[in-house]
Structure 1
């Protein structure tokens, strides 16, 4: 927690590599009170800056083109409602207890090693979306500057590295400064189009798509929703910022809740608006400039800017919008992905390589996806991925809201430290595997052609129903292995706020706050959760 020498060998001091936490950003642990100096408002703006991505425009355009306007809008709204509802308990938990989605998952039904699987699923989300945004930026560089796609992919990957290394401090500054510019560039041309050609809106409303689905076709709505629901995992990235929220007090309660809801589940409101705008711009391109790829955001905005500005300026602004958006989201993708990989790797190997190693790993995978032209099969990749994402998020949200709060089968305060948890908790693991397994079987048509479009709904319902059933069947006994961590002072005060008392770790000689420490018989003293993770 304090800056200290990081030259010691790893075996002598397991956490010495992680000592410079300003660089490491509490990869595997609770974010301490002493580090959380931002106001709720700054945390919320930083978290919302991460959703500047343009993939929403692509997703909206592709489902609008395929299933028609009415079906697309219902798909988008259905997905947004599900994402919002499941996001509330997760965002609250992250902000209240200052932990990321992996630490929440461990104590919410998955167990200490069980959540390694979900860490890898989350890491996959970050490199899929990094590749998607990088592809969009490369399309912008090709259109605006004539840079070939392969080089554009490389540029979009390399430029985020310096920003990601410096974690929350650099990211909060970047997001706060760029958000107003981004909003003006995004909303301006669309508002102008609607003002100039009001008939476009009614033509858009009656557009039926190019695959012949009738308006209000349930299968089409569910197929579209499956693609939108792949974004359910975005809550994990929002949480990587929300864990830095200040403690909730009587004085800041209103501002605190406003920030948690707007930056947590609230991201999806802006996301849904962007998807609908994407469908509108896609339709506009289809009617105005046939032959152009209507799902490419740079083409959408280039055409919209062209209607109000001279050609060279329109193209310049379209490219600037694409570049700002790509940097804003891809620093978040690279940052969150590095946290997820580090967490999974450290628990399996009992060795902490540092977050930066996995920044590079994540970027290399994303670059390979881009060079392999992932953008061309976007809908298929997202539709498949969403089955895993929905199953996980629904199981954790259900575990918190029903198993913890309603059925009181597991302790409300989260537990994530090794030895305090069972390695695997069947409640979350079984519910997740069954929900994901059945929905993927449906997705590939193994449950019959009728159920194929409904795979996201299967993941959702099975995860929601099975989690409390598994909790009741196991009587909640696999949530907590040990009630006592060997330290007299409780981890949370009477209000449920993490206690900020500082303890000294005898293994790495750093100071840590109360939620992050426990007594170790092996070391004959108090040690931090990271040293505990590293114990052979």
Structure 2
């Protein structure tokens, strides 16, 4: 990866340089590094949604609730995910920061967002394990490799790619996407064209036990709840979108297209894949025999069944395995990459030590491998339904703070602040909202308020995440958003087009050059300090003291 910082590195501190080489894990992504076009960034981001878990999710909820209820659940979840994801994607692309940094300044505080980082890291290893399981199924079916070995292979194979960050990931995603699209789309088109009656069978399917013969609110909400577990995917999209180039009058249309398509727009592709997964599962069940239901939720069997009608058996098996392997690599490099960012971010803030992103690549992969070996695929609906409550609580709370507290009420500061010393340690607006929203919805999900209310846990999570932030912001009068309103540097934060300034300043601690949004004044030494050196400052020597007249807690 090309290093774009300049200056002489201090011999006693290598963290800043190492972190720069690791895709700006903990900080603002500088203009000098963001050399990709909007189209390349969008393609890289959308490459991360090549996962086959959607096919399993669609099949599982359809087999359980029937086609009609499943499709309504998929549509409902897609609307919620798109609406909540839009403001987050915009903030990431506009201010070039990831979702954790957005979360800090959107109601959580400097340390308060650690809890949401754990939620996101959990998402990455759950879905890494899910995709790894699917790849292991393909390797077992096509090559006779035992699943436990397949789990290990699917884990180890992504490690070399993740080490090199955005530079390697963008190339891999761009080059593999055309082949992935061909392998995925052609079987579906062939099936619809050669077996038109399969469409009618699909819409008439009422589930494994026939309970989905009519529309049921409970079934729709339960199906939506499983799909809503994917809400945290927006954070992975944002890990790419933060590298968007500055928006100018010349590239505004391309910029917006890329942000919408690769940001909240990912869910459109996801919803289509879920519906196709159910379509393929219904075809296998109705065309083969009842035994097919046992593996109809496994993507490798779904695609193999259609490929076998198109080409000779050996080629069908080859194509199915190749599709599974490509899909697994495309998504799991993103899962491993994003998970490493989340863990590193939390660890550095809590311990004031920067161990390097690669350490947490290994941590995430080990956790995912443990889940795979525990056969989490057999409990997919329960795991995803439970996790959805946490994901919804986090994402909707942040989106509400941006849209309502920042945009409408003007209580939350409009700036995308993330630097230590500028924020209070914990802001109850977002922190308490997430605990209430996730906590109560999880209790509902596990039947704590009765079976009749149980399907409504997604509604509880979303409603509380919408209502609590503005109520708490009004009650606290916004006192806990900013610890300082002035970072002590007399230079504008944005350029003439409203993009983060590209002006360069030198951190007096690590002697590296950083762009204006990534530094604050250091009153102790009458100089400037970068955000990572602030994060690793164990004695708060470089941290700005709280400004007079700014209420709330005191601390760094």
Fold-level similarity (TM above 0.5)? yes
Q: CA deviation at 1:196?
A: 0.7
Q: What secondary structure sits across from 1:484 in the alignment?
A: coil
Q: What secondary structure sits across from 1:418 in the alignment?
A: coil
2:81 aligns with 83
Coordinate RMSD, CA, aligned: 1.4
**2:16·2:533 contact (CA, 8 Å) conserved in 1?**
no
1:33 aligns with 31
1:47 aligns with 45
CA distance in 1, matches of 2:443, 2:494: 43
CA distance in 1, matches of 2:18, 2:62: 48
My pick for the range that moved more, 288-297 or 459-468, is 288-297
CA distance in 2, matches of 1:230, 1:23: 32
**1:57·1:274 contact (CA, 8 Å) conserved in 2?**
yes
Q: CA deviation at 1:488?
A: 0.5
**1:427·1:467 contact (CA, 8 Å) conserved in 2?**
yes
Residue from 107, 113, 116 that aligns with 2:114: 116
**1:55·1:133 contact (CA, 8 Å) conserved in 2?**
yes
2:550 aligns with none
1:252 aligns with 251
**1:2·1:20 contact (CA, 8 Å) conserved in 2?**
no
Residue from 304, 314, 318 that aligns with 1:312: 314
**1:405·1:412 contact (CA, 8 Å) conserved in 2?**
yes
CA distance in 2, matches of 1:316, 1:6: 53
Q: What secondary structure sits across from 1:341 in the alignment?
A: helix
Q: CA deviation at 1:5?
A: 11
* Per-residue deviation, residues 104-143 of structure 1 (Å, max 9, x unmatched): 0000000000000101110000000000000000000000
Write the mapping of 1:513-528 to structure 2, written as runs, cut at 5 A: 513-528=515-530
Q: What secondary structure sits across from 2:529 in the alignment?
A: strand
**TM-score, scaled relative to structure 1:** 0.97
2:174 aligns with 176
CA distance in 1, matches of 2:111, 2:159: 29
CA distance in 2, matches of 1:490, 1:22: 23
Q: CA deviation at 1:214?
A: 3.7
2:544 aligns with none
1:483 aligns with 485
Aligned residue pairs total 532
1:499 aligns with 501
CA distance in 1, matches of 2:32, 2:449: 52
My pick for the range that moved more, 384-393 or 461-470, is 461-470
Residue from 450, 453, 460 that aligns with 2:452: 450
CA distance in 2, matches of 1:230, 1:218: 19
Q: What secondary structure sits across from 1:526 in the alignment?
A: strand
Write the mapping of 1:22-421 to structure 2, written as runs, cut at 5 A: 23-211=21-209, 212-290=211-289, 291-292=291-292, 293-421=295-423
**1:22·1:166 contact (CA, 8 Å) conserved in 2?**
no
CA distance in 1, matches of 2:129, 2:529: 39
Distance 1:183 1:376, change over 3 A: same
Structure 1 unaligned runs (5+)?
none
Distance 1:8 1:504, change over 3 A: closer
Q: CA deviation at 1:523?
A: 3.8
CA distance in 2, matches of 1:503, 1:326: 41
**2:86·2:263 contact (CA, 8 Å) conserved in 1?**
yes
Write the mapping of 1:434-445 to structure 2, written as runs, cut at 5 A: 434-445=436-447
**TM-score, scaled relative to structure 2:** 0.94
Q: CA deviation at 1:23?
A: 3.4
**1:4·1:20 contact (CA, 8 Å) conserved in 2?**
no
2:547 aligns with none
Q: What secondary structure sits across from 2:459 in the alignment?
A: helix
* Per-residue deviation, residues 255-290 of structure 1 (Å, max 9, x unmatched): 000000000000000000000000001111112333
**1:6·1:17 contact (CA, 8 Å) conserved in 2?**
no
Structure 2 unaligned runs (5+)?
539-556
Q: CA deviation at 1:4?
A: 8.0
